Structure 1
Amino acid sequence: MPLFGLLEHSPVVDVVVILVATAFIWLGSGWLETSAERLSAYYGLPAVVQGSLVVAVGSSFPELSSVVFASLAGVFDMGVGAVVGSAIFNILVIPALSGLASGQPLETNRTLVYKEAQFYMIAVSVLVVTFALAVIYVPVTGGSPLVGQLTRPLALIPLGLYGLYIFIQWQDVSDHDAERVDDGVPVVRRWVLLAAGLLVILVAVEQLVGSVEALSRTFGVPDFLAGVTVLAAATSLPDLLVSVRTARDGRAVTSLANVLGSNTFDLLVAIPVGVVIVGAVPIDFAVAVPMMGVLTLATILLFGVLRTDLSLTNSEAYALAASYALFVVWVIAESLGMTQLIK
C-alpha cells in the first residue's frame, strides 16, 4: 500500500507517489554523493577511483534498493529491468548530457577507456553467461525451456568478478600519492549525512517499487518493461545529476568514470544481491538477452566514441542521445504489441 498503508492503490495515487518518491531519491542521493565526494577527497583517492567506485556506488544505491525490494515483492523481473534500463540510460544519455552541459568536448584518458570501459564490457558478458548457466543447469520444469532459476551459487559469479574490480581499484589507490583535501566539515558529520542519504533512498525506493508494480498490473505492462522504463528513469536520476555537475566543474574523467562504475556495480552487485536475499529467482532468457544485446550495442557505441581522440564531442553526444531515443521508441512499440522482438 502507498505511504505504508495509509492510501489505497489507484492510478492517480500511484503516479503521485512515483513523483514524490523520485524527488526523495534525488534528495537522498544528493546527500549521499556529496558526502562520498568529500570523503574521497579527504582520504586522497585518485579521480578515476573516486568516480568509478565511491561516487558510483553511492549513485547506484537506488538501483540496488529497487532490485532488493522488487525481489522481496516477488517481481524480480522488474528489478532486473530497472538495472538494465538504467544501464542503457547511463551509457547513452548521461555522457551525452554531460558533454553538452560542459560546453566543450569531454576529455578522457587511456586509463578510463582501457580499464573502466573494457572491464564494464566484461561485466556485461559475465552477467549474460550467468543467466545462460541458470537456464542450462537449473531449468524451471513445466514452463518455457528458456526460463531458469538464478540461484545463490550462480549469483556468486558476478559478485566474485566485482571483488576483482575492487582489488584492481585498491591497487590504483596504493600506487597513487595525493594530498588530502579538508573542506573544514568534520568527517563524522560527513559519514552521518551519508547514512541519512542511504535511509531516505531506501524508504523512497520501497514506495516507488510498490507504485510501479501497481501501475504495471493496472495497465497490463510486463514487469520487465515497467522496470526498464519508469523504474529505470527514476533510479538513474542521481547518476545523471552527479555526472552533469562534475562535467560542468571540469572533471570529465570523474564524470565518465561514474557512468561506467555505476553500471559495473549495477550488473555485478545489484542483481546478484537480490538473488542472495531471496534465495532463487526465475530468469527468462528470452526477455533478458534482447535487452542485454541492446546494452552491449550501447556499450560498444560509447567505447567507440570515447576512443576517438580520447574525447566526447558535441556531435558524438547528439548521436548517443539519438540512439537512446530509438531505444525508447522500440520499448514503447514492444509495450503496445507493435513489435515482438521480446518473446
Structure 2
Amino acid sequence: MGLLIPLIFIVFCCLIIWKASDGFEASSEYLGRNMTEGVRGATINAIASSMPELFTTIFFLLCLNDTEGFSGGIGTTAGSAIFNGMIIPAAVIFVVLLTGITKNITVSRKVILRDGIALILAEVLLIYLISGSTLHWWHGLILMTFYGGYIWYMLGSMKGAESSEDNDDPEDEEEDENEEVGFLKALFTLNLKAIFIGSKEINTKNAWALLLSSMFVIGFACLMLVRACEMIGYGAYELPFIGEVHGLDIPIMFVAVILASAATSVPDTIISMKDAKAGNYNDAISNALGSNIFDICFALGFPLFMYCIIYGPIQMSPETIQFSSELRILLLLFTVLAFFIYFTGKKMGILKALMLIGIYIFFTAYISARSMDAAWANQISEFLTGIYNLVH
C-alpha cells in the first residue's frame, strides 16, 4: 500500500500532464508559427514541453529544501534528459515507420550538429560548474546565461527563412480541428483548448491564455508528483484512514531520476510524435534535444538561482555529491553515444530506435540496481566517479 498509492498518484499526474500538453501543443504551435522548422522545435516547443521539469525542480526545492530538494531536481532533469534523448526519438521512429506514414526518416544533419553540440557543451558546463559541496546563486545564473546565448543564436539563425505556407498552416489546422464542446465536459476532461478557444479562431491573446492555463495545471500535477516521489522514498509514513505504511527507504534522487523524469517527459513525447506524424522530423528531434538543454540550463539553473538568493547557499551531503557526479558523467556519456547514433548514416531506422531503447533500459536497470547497492552497479559507480575525479 505504501508503494501502490503514490504510484497511482504518479499515473494520475501523467494523465493530467498528458491532457494539459494538448493545450501546450496548440498554443506553442500558433505562437511559434513564424519560426523555421527545427528552430521552433528547439525553442518554443522545447520550452513549453519542459515546464513540468521546471515546476518539479522548483517544488522539490521548496518542499524538501536544501540538499534533498536539489538532489530531486537534478535527478529529474538528468533522468528526463536521458528519456528525451533515447525514448522520444525511438518513439518517433516507431510511430512513423510502423504506421506507414513514410518509409524513411531523414533529419537534417545541421539540426543534429547544432542541438547536439549545444547539449554536450551544456552537460560539460554542468559537470565543471556544480562541483564541490556548496552551491551558490551564480551557479544558476551561469547556467541560465548559457541558455540565453543558445536562444539568441537560434533566433538569429532563422534569417527570415520562414515561408508564407508555414505561417498559414497552423491557423488552418486549428480552424479545422476546433469543435464546440460543452464547458462542463471540457472542464471534467481537462480539455483546456475547448475552454479557452472553443470554436473561435485562435489568436495571440487566447493562445497565451491557453499556454498559461496549461502551465498552471501542469504545475499542480508536478506538485502532486513531488509528493508522490517523496512518499516512495520514505521508510515509513502515515496516511489518513490507513495508518502507517512503508516506502522503499531510498534517497529521493533515485526515485526522481526514473519516475519523476518519465512523468515530466510526457509533453515532450506527445509534441515530438505529433510533429513526426505531420512530417516535421527536424522539429521532432530538435524538440527532444532542445528540451534537454532547457532542462539542464534553465529548469535546474532558475530554481537554484532563486533558492540561493532567498535562502542562501545549498550545502550538499557526500552521498548527494557522489551520486550527482556519477549521474552527470553518465548523462554525458549517453548523450555522446546517442549523438553518434543520430549522426551515423543519413536515415533514422528501426535499428537506431532499438539501440536507443537499449541504452535507456540499461540506464533504468543501473539506477534500480544502484539504489539496491548491487555489486555490478557499484563497480560502474566507481568507474564513473573515477572519470569525474579525472576531469576535475
The TM-score with structure 1 as length reference comes to 0.88
- Matched with 2:14 is 22
Q: Provide, for residues 214-234 of structure 1, a one-character-per-residue CA deviation record: whole Å limited to 9, x for no partner.
A: 111131121111110111111
Tell me how far 1:10 sits from its aligned partner.
5.0
Equivalent position SS for 1:47:
coil
Determine whether 1:66 maps to 2:56: yes
1:198 equivalenced with 2:215 (yes/no): yes
- Could you tell me which of 69, 85, 89 is aligned with 1:95? 89
2:258 and 2:338 mapped to 1: Cα distance?
21
Match of 2:278 in 1: 249
What is the one-letter code of the residue matched to 1:278? Y
Superposed displacement of residue 13, structure 1: 3.4
Relative to 1, partners in 2 of residues 1:174 and 1:81: Cα closer, same or farther, differing over 3 Å? same
Residues 127 and 329 in structure 2, CA contact (< 8 A), matched pair in contact too: no
**Residue in 2 that maps onto 1:335:** 371
Greater mean alpha carbon deviation, residues 230-239 or residues 275-284? 275-284
**1:319 and 2:350 aligned:** no
Deviation at 1:336, TM superposition (A): 1.5
Query: If you compute each CA radius of gyration, which structure gives the higher value, 1 or 2?
Result: 2
Q: Which residue of 1 aligns with 2:127?
A: 128
Query: Per-residue deviation at 1:311?
Result: 2.5
Displacement after TM superposition at 1:101 (Å): 1.1
Structure 2 match to 1:273: 302
In the alignment of these two chains, the number of paired residues is 319
* Residue aligning to 2:323: 287
Determine helix, strand or coil for the equivalent of 1:311.
coil
Structure 1 residue 65: Cα displacement: 0.5
1:186 aligns with 2:178: no
Deviations 1:49-76 (A, max 9, x none): 1100000001100000000000111222
Q: Who is 1:38 aligned against?
A: 30
Which residue of 1 is the match for residue 190 of structure 2? none
| Kept in 1: contact 2:29–2:45 (CA 8 A) | yes
Q: How many angstroms apart in 2 are the aligned matches of 1:253 and 1:36?
A: 16
| Structure 1: distance between partners of 2:144 and 2:32 | 23
1:111-148 residue CA offsets vs partner (Å, 9 max, x unmatched): 2122111111101111111112xx1xxxxxxxxxxxx1
Distance 1:18 1:107, change over 3 A: same
Most deviating of 170-179 and 45-54:
170-179
Opposite residue 165 of structure 1, the aligned amino acid is: Y
Deviation at 1:152, TM superposition (A): 0.5
In 2, are the aligned partners of 1:62 and 1:205 still within 8 Å (CA)?
Answer: yes
Gaps of 5+ in 2: 98-102, 176-200, 235-246, 383-392
Query: 1:175 & 1:122 partners in 2: Cα distance?
Result: 27
Q: Does 1:213 align with 2:230?
A: yes
Tell me if the contact between 1:14 and 1:215 (Cα under 8 Å) persists in the aligned partners.
Answer: yes
Measure, in 2, the Cα distance between the counterparts of 1:117 and 1:15: 34
Say if 1:12 and 1:110 are closer, same or farther in 2 by CA, change over 3 A.
Answer: closer
Residues 249-284 of structure 1: CA deviation (Å, up to 9, x unaligned): 221101000011000000000111111221133443
Q: Once the two structures are superposed, what CA deviation does each residue of 1:153-211 show, in whole Å capped at 9, x if it has no partner? A: 12111111111101101202344232222334231222211111011001110111011
**Cα pair distance change 1:214/1:342, threshold 3 Å:** farther
